[in-house]
Amino acid sequence: MKSDKWKPWALLAPSLTAVFLLLVIPVCFVVVYSFWLRAPSGGDIPAFQFGNYAKFFADFFYPSLVIRTLRVALETVVLCLVMGYIPAYFFYRTESKLKPFLMILIMLPFWISFIIRTLSWINILGDTGLINHVFIKAGVIDNPLPMLYNEGAVLMGLLQYLLPFMILNIYVSLEGIDKSLTEAAKSLGCTEWQAFKEVTLPLSLPGVSAGCLLVFVLTCGTYLPPMILGGPGNDMIANLIFKRIVGTLDWPFGSALSTILLALLGVIVYTYNRYLGINQIFKTLQ
C-alpha cells in the first residue's frame, strides 16, 4: 500500500505543474509588483512599501468602483438565476426528441467569440439597431429608445455571456435528481407546484449555488461588456485595472488593485464555502 502513495501525485503532477507555472507564479508576481513604485517615465522601481494600498483606501473613488462591481455582479447573478432556472428545468423535464438539439443551442454561443457576441448587441440595441428600427417603422415610437451605452446594456452583455454557465450548472444538478421522487411526492398528495417546491427545488440547490458563484466571480473580473456596451460611469474595477496597467503603465498600482480584487473574491469564496460548502459545486459535476 505504501508504495502506491506516489501514484495519485504522479497523475496530478502535469496539472499541478501547469497550475503552479501558469497561475501561482504569475499571481505571486502581481503581488510582488503591488509593493513596487512607478517611475515618472513609466518604468518600475523595486521597493517594499504599502503606498499603493494606502492610495486605494485613502480615496473613496476606488472602493466605490469595487462596490459598483459587486452590485453589478449581484444583479447579474439574480438575472441569470431567474432566466437560467426555467430553461434548465424544461430540459430536465422534457421528453422531446429535440432535447439534444436544444442543448446544443445553449452551447452554441461558446462557438462564437465573446467579443463578437458583445459587439453584436450594438446592432440590436443601438439607435439605428434592430429594435429601434422595428419600433419606429411600426409607428410605436418617434425617437429611438436609449438602450445602448448604459448599465442595462452592460447587464445584457453579461447575461448573454454568463447565462449558459448558469443553465448548465442547474441542469446538471437537476439531472441527478431521481424523477421517481417527485412522482412519490405527488402520489402522497402534493400538487405539481408543491412537489417542485418541496422536492425538486431543494435538491437542485447545489447546482444553483455553483452557478451563482461562477457567474459572480466571472462578472467581477470582466471588463469587455462595460467597455463596449457601457456609457459614462459604467466602468467596473477590471476596467480601472486595465487602464492603470495599459494606460498609464502604472503596473504597481494596477497590481495592488488586482491583489485587492483577488483578496476580496477569496474572502467571498471562503465565506461561501463556510456556509454553503464548496463541495456542492463538485456534487453537480458528479
Query: Which residues of this chain interact with other proteins, rule CB under 8 A?
Result: 38, 40-43, 61, 64-65, 112-113, 115-116, 119-120, 122-123, 126-128, 146, 148-149, 227-228, 231-233, 235, 240, 243, 245-250
Smallest distance from other proteins to CB 78, Å: 23
For 21-158, strand residue ranges (E) read 37-38, 44-45
Smallest distance from other proteins to CB 32, Å: 15
Within 138-285, residue ranges assigned H as helices are 151-175, 179-187, 192-195, 201-221, 224-229, 237-242, 251-275, 279-285
Select 126 or 152, whichever has its Cβ closest to other proteins.
126
Smallest distance from other proteins to CB 111, Å: 10
Cβ neighbours of residue 202 closer than 8 Å, sequence gap 6 or more: none
What is the chain's length?
A: 286
Smallest distance from other proteins to CB 263, Å: 22
Select 125 or 210, whichever has its Cβ closest to other proteins.
125
Helix axes 99-107, 151-175, angle to 10 degrees: 140
Cell of 266: 477569496
Smallest distance from other proteins to CB 184, Å: 48
Select 215 or 245, whichever has its Cβ closest to other proteins.
245
Cβ neighbours of residue 55 closer than 8 Å, sequence gap 6 or more: 62, 253, 256
